[in-house]
Amino acid sequence: MTDLSAAHLRIARPATDLAAAERFWIEGVGLDVLWRSGADVEGAHALTMVGAPGAAWHLELVDDADSAARARPSEEDLVVLYLEEPPSAAWLDRIERAGGRRTASRNPYWDRWGVTVVDPDGYRLVLSERSWG
């Protein structure tokens, strides 16, 4: 069996408004643009890949309003960032100014150990003060 412990992880999500999604993830959360393309690429959808340089994961935001409109993000569609400290008030304010909305989590565990924010397309980001591992 293949060892997946070092595999790179890509999470792809359709966006109803790619500019709004970029604003949330780049200006608000603070991720970097790792790649950007127009609709002239294979698949005919503009996309932006965001992440932290050198990380083994990234988030792909796909400009596909039709797919995004059909998607129904649930309260369990989470991206969790384990920060090892509480997120700062200034960072949370920046995320909200960039289109995020703080919300209570369906699972009280996340409210106890972090802050849950909904992105412009309804997906949830948990900023956890815990560590992973």
Predicted confidence at residue 99, as pLDDT, reads 98
Q: Does any domain span residue 3?
A: no
**Vertex 42 angle, CA 37 and 44, to 5°:** 70
The whole domain housing 115 covers: 9-128
**CB of 81 closer than 8 Å to CB of 127:** yes
pLDDT band of 56, cuts 50, 70, 90:
very high
Q: Does any domain span residue 119?
A: yes
How do residues 11-53 score in pLDDT, each as one tens digit?
999 999 999 999 999 999 999 999 998 877 776 778 999 999 9
Q: Does any domain span residue 2?
A: no
Rounded to a whole number, what is the largest CA-CA distance in the chain?
46
Q: Does any domain span residue 133?
A: no
CATH of the domain at 79: 3.10.180.10
Q: Which two tokens stand for residue 37?
A: 């393309």
Q: Does any domain span residue 122?
A: yes
**CB of 82 closer than 8 Å to CB of 97:** no
Helix, strand, coil fractions of the chain, as percent rounded to 5:
25, 30, 45
